Structure 1
C-alpha cells in the first residue's frame, strides 16, 4: 500500500501544511487522528553476495579463514567473529529473532536454533534442530532468559504453525512444549505471532488469540470475536501491558479498527479506543507508553498517536516529515511490532527520516506535545537508524556504503548539542558483506555490534552470512 501526499483537506499549522480527517461528531471528546504525508515503511539495504562458504551455521569461532580483518585500517573495528548461514531450501527460509544475554547470542535459522559466546563466537551449546521449519518466535526474551519458538506441524500445504517449544538461552535446555489449537472457521494457525508481557505469552492467530503462562505453558484464556462483528487482528506487548487491535464490521458501513488495552493476567478489557472508518492500525512503535502508527488509504495520510494508560489520545505527532523506519511486510498479518529503527524512552519518540538524497536525520519528538524537540543529521551519506536509548544517549546505526563500513554512534538526548559521536567504525573491507544483510536484525550490547539476517535466500551459489559481530 503506497501512501502518497494527496489529501482531502489541508490546514496550515505553524507554517506547515497538514492533512486533517473528519471527526466522529461533536460529542466525541477524544482527539481524532490528524495526519501528514508519509510513505509506507519499506525494508532497506542492498542485495550483495557474501563469500561462498559451505558452513552449517555452527562454526567453531576463534579463526578468520576468510581474512575478513585483512587490511583493516587504523581506527576501524574488527570482525570479532562471524557465522555462515545453514543450508536452506531454494525457496528460502526465515531466520527470525536474535537474543543476547550477558554471555550468549542466540539465533534461529530455518529449522535450527544456534548459540554463540558473545566474545569469540564459539558454540555455547549444541544447536537445537526441529523436525520442521521455524515459523514464529518471541521477539523478546523473558525476564529469566527464555524464549518460545513455534515450528510447523509438517511440510505439506496444510501444515500449521502450531508447535511451541520453550528454550533456555543460557543452557539450550528445552522446557515445556504445547500445541496451539485452531480457532473457529477461517481462524487458523497457518501462521501465528508470539508476544511476551511479563509472565504472559500471547499467541495471536488470524482472528483470535490465546494467552499462556510463559513459565509453565498452561493455557490461561482466549480472546475471541466480540460485539459488532469484531475480531482480534493483532496483539502487541510491553513489559507490563498487552494491547489488542481488532477489526470490526469488515466490508460494511461501520467498518473500523479498535485498539483495546488488556489486563495481561486475565484478558479483561481495560479500555477501548475506536478509530474512525477508513483508518487502519498498522504498527505499535511502543506499548509502554503506547504509540500507534495508523494510515488512511483513501485520504492518503498517516497518523502517529500516543495514548495515556487509560486509552485516551494524549497527543499526535505534528512533524511534517516522511519517516522511514525499517518495517517488514504485513499484508495479511498485522505484525504490529515488526519495525526496527524506532526508539521510545523518557517520553520521547525517535524516528528516522527518509533519505531522498544524501544523509537522513533522526527526529526526536516530545510525546506529550507531539512537537519536535531536536533532530540530528547522519554523519555519512547513508541513512542513520535509532537502535536504543542508554542513559542520556541515543544509540544509532549508520548504514554501510560501497566504500565504507557501517557506524555505531551516540547522540546526546538532552542539552543543545546533538551531533553524533562515533562509537564504532566498521571496516571498509567488510562493507560489502555488512551491506548484504537485506533483511536484518541489529543490536548494540556491551560495546559490541551484532548484525544477523532474518531471511535466508537458499542460493547455494552465494551463501550469505548468518551473523557478524564487531568490536574493538
Structure 2
C-alpha cells in the first residue's frame, strides 16, 4: 500500500517507458471478462443510437454514462460527429466502411510480438434493423453464440464454423451459463415481428453435438405471468425463468416444470431476475409504499428442488444492481434515488449474511459502466470479476483489486491519458489480475498481468495486432469480451442488418 501522502495507485509520466509496453508514447494506464452482456432495450430501459465509428455500424441499445463518454471520444478521435451531437447539414457523406479482412489476411499482416488472431465475418441474412448478439458459451474447444434465428459454433483455435442450428423465430433471451454437460435453453419470440411479440418459446440446444432438442411454450394465465419480458439462468440441470412477476424452474433435459419459485411477501416482493452457474440466485424487488423503505432481496435456491437455502435483504432504500459472482455470492447495491452515484460491493457468506461491504467510490470506481439497470440481465457487469478472494474492478481509466475479506485495496493502477476501458478478465496466482485494455481506432489493445506493487508489476500477456485495431475498437467500445485459457474473444453488442454497413461478429486473439 502507498503511504498516506501518495495516491492509491502508482503511475509513470506519459513518456516514461513501461516494461513490455510498446505504446509508451501514449502514456500508461490500467485496462476489463466476464462475458457477459449489456442487455438490450426492455420496457424499462432507455433507447439510444450509438455510432460505432470503428466498425462502421449503428447499434441500438441502452447506454451508460461511461458508454456515452467512450462513444463521444470515439467520434472525436475519428473526426466523426458524436452520437449526441447531430452533424451539421454541410457534413461530408459517411464514407463506405473499410473492407473486413479475412483471417488469412490478418495472419499475413501480423508483426513480431503480436498475438495471432481470427475473425468471424458472419454473412447471415439479417433484417435491416438492430440485432443484439447474445451470450458466448464455451464448450470444449468451441465457442457458441445465438444471433437472431441461428445458433453457431466456432472452433476456438481458428474460428472455423463447426455447426449451426436454425431457429424458428428470433432469440429473446439466453442464459449466461450452459449446463455442465453442455446444454442450454434459449428463449425465443413467438413470432417474427419486431414489436408486439412475446418471449414464450423455449428451445433446448445441445452445444456439444449441435442438435436441437425439445421445444415448448411457456404458460401464460394473465395473472402476473406474461412473457413480454423474461429472464433466464441455468444452474446444474435446471433452467430458472422469470416471466413478469412469477418464476419457475424447468428441467433442461426434458423441459418438464420442476417447481414454482416461491413468492415471499405476496403483493410486496416479486422475483425479477435470476443468476446462474454453480449456484442459483433469485433477485426480488420489494417495493412497498414508501420508496425510502423499499428493499431488494436475493435468495439462493437448491436448483434441483427449489428449496431456499438462504436469503439476504438490502437495507431500506437500496436495491441490488448486479451479481458479480454466485460462488462466493458477491453483489452490488445502489441507492434507489441516487442510483450509480451511491453504490457498494457486498460480499455475502455461505449463509447469506454480509461478510464485507466495500465502497470503491473514493478510488474513483464507477458501477458497471456507470449505470444501474435492474431490468437487465443480473450478470452483465463487464467491469468486474471475482476470484481468489478478490474482486477486480475496471473502468474507463483504472483497474484495481479489493480483498473480499478485509475490504482493503490490494493494488490499483490508473491511466490519466486517454483510455477507452480496462476490463478485468481473471484473478491469477499471487493475487494478480489479468486485464484487457481496449485499444483505440489507431492503436491496438492488449492483455496484461498486474499485481501487488501496481504499475511496476505490469507485464504484457497479449499484444493485439495493429492490423485489427480499428475492428477491435469498433467492436469493443460497446461490446463484450471473454477470456478462456489464454485466448481473448470479443463480440459487439449487436449487428445492424444493413448490408451497406456490414460488420464482423467475433474477433479472437491468442499467443
| TM score, norm. by length of structure 1 | 0.80
SS at match of 1:461: helix
Q: Describe the shift of the 1:471–1:271 C-alpha distance in structure 2 as closer, same or farther (beyond 3 A).
A: closer
The answer (yes or no) to whether the contact 1:395–1:411 under 8 Å persists in 2 is: yes
1:97 aligns with 2:138: no
CA deviations over 1:109-150 (Å, ceiling 9, x no partner):
11111111222222212x211121111112112211222211
1:179 Cα offset (Å) = 1.9
The reply to whether residue 258 of structure 1 matches residue 300 of structure 2 is: no
Deviation at 1:203, TM superposition (A): 0.9
Helix, strand or coil: the match of 1:181? coil
Look up the match of 2:145.
107
- Cα–Cα, structure 1 residues 282 and 50, in superposed 2: closer, same or farther, change >3 Å? farther
> Out of 444, 454, 463, which is 2:493 matched to?
454
Alignment of 1:278 with 2:317, yes or no, is yes
For 1:396, which of 432, 435, 445 is the aligned residue? 435
Partners of 2:221 and 2:248 lie apart in 1 by: 9
Structure 1 residue 444 displacement after superposition: 2.3
Partner in structure 1 of residue 124 of structure 2: 86
Assess, with a 3 A threshold, how the Cα gap between structure 1 residues 415 and 64 changes in structure 2: closer, same or farther. closer
Residue 312 (structure 1) aligned with residue 312 (structure 2): no
CA distance in 2, matches of 1:221, 1:397: 41
What is the Cα deviation at residue 103 of structure 1?
1.9
Query: Do the aligned partners of residues 370 and 310 (structure 1) sit closer, same or farther apart at CA in structure 2, a change above 3 Å counting?
Result: same
The answer on whether the counterparts of 2:283 and 2:296 sit within 8 Å (CA) in structure 1 is no
Partner residue of 1:76? 114
**1:325-340 residue pairs with structure 2 within 5 A?**
326=368, 331=373, 333-340=375-382
The structure in which a higher percent of residues are helix is: 2
Q: Does 1:267 align with 2:298?
A: no
1:200 maps to which of 208, 233, 238:
238
Q: Comparing 326-335 with 265-274, which one deviates more in the overlay?
A: 326-335
- For the pair 1:345 / 2:384, whether they are aligned, the reply is no
| Residue pair 1:207, 1:225 contacting (<8 A) in 2 also | no
**Contact 1:271 1:311 survives alignment (8 Å):** yes
Aligned to 2:166: 129
Equivalents in 2 of 1:252, 1:381: separation in Å?
Answer: 39
- 1:348–1:128: structure 2 CA closer, same or farther, 3 Å change rule? same
43-52 vs 453-462, which moves further: 43-52
User: C-alpha displacement at 1:467, in angstroms?
Assistant: 0.8
Are the counterparts in 2 of residues 81 and 470 from structure 1 also a CA contact under 8 Å? no
Write the distance in 1 (CA, Å) between the matches of 2:415 and 2:259. Answer: 46
Shift of the 252–466 alpha-carbon distance from structure 1 to 2, 3 Å rule, reads: closer
Structure 2 distance, partners of 1:124, 1:304, is: 40
Distance 1:181 1:51 in 2: 47
CA distance in 2, matches of 1:327, 1:379: 18
SS at match of 1:68: helix
Q: What aligned pairs does 1:35-50 form with structure 2 within 5 A after superposition?
A: 42-43=66-67, 46=74
Classify the secondary structure of the residue corresponding to 1:140.
Answer: coil
| Offset of residue 85 of structure 1 | 5.3
CA distance in 1, matches of 2:314, 2:149: 40
- Which of 301, 308, 320 is residue 342 of structure 2 equivalent to? 301
Matched, 1:179 2:221: no
Q: 1:5 matched to which residue of 2?
A: none
Structure 1 residue 337: deviation in Å? 1.0
- Post-superposition shift, 1:264? 2.3
Deviations 1:85-108 (A, max 9, x none): 533323211110112233212121
Cα distance in structure 2, aligned partners of 1:252 and 1:342: 28
Give the secondary-structure state (helix, strand or coil) at the position aligned to 1:431: helix
| Cα distance in structure 1, aligned partners of 2:350 and 2:250 | 24
Q: Distance in 1 between matches of 2:245 and 2:390?
A: 33
Instruction: Give the distance between the partners of 1:339 and 1:400, measured in 2 at CA.
Output: 20
Q: Secondary structure at the residue paired with 2:157?
A: coil
CA shift, 1:199, in A, is 1.9
* Counterpart in the other structure of 2:92: none
Could you give the per-residue CA deviations for residues 281-331 of structure 1, whole angstroms, max 9, x where no partner exists? 111111211112111143552222111111211111044133246559775
Report deviation, 1:243: 3.5
Q: Distance in 1 between matches of 2:413 and 2:259?
A: 45
Q: Which residue of 1 aligns with 2:49?
A: none
Cα separation, 2, equivalents of 1:328 and 1:131 = 37
Does residue 150 (structure 1) correspond to residue 191 (structure 2)? The answer is: no
Aligned to 1:444: 483
Further displaced range: 296-305 or 449-458: 296-305
Give the paired residue count. Answer: 421
Residue 33 of structure 1 corresponds to none
Aligned to 1:470: 509
Matches of 1:77 and 1:159, distance apart in 2: 43
Q: What is the distance in 2 between the residues matched to 1:329 and 1:456?
A: 22
**TM-score, normalised via structure 2 length:** 0.74
Please list every run of 5 or more consecutive structure 2 residues that lacks an aligned counterpart in the other structure. Answer: 6-62, 79-95
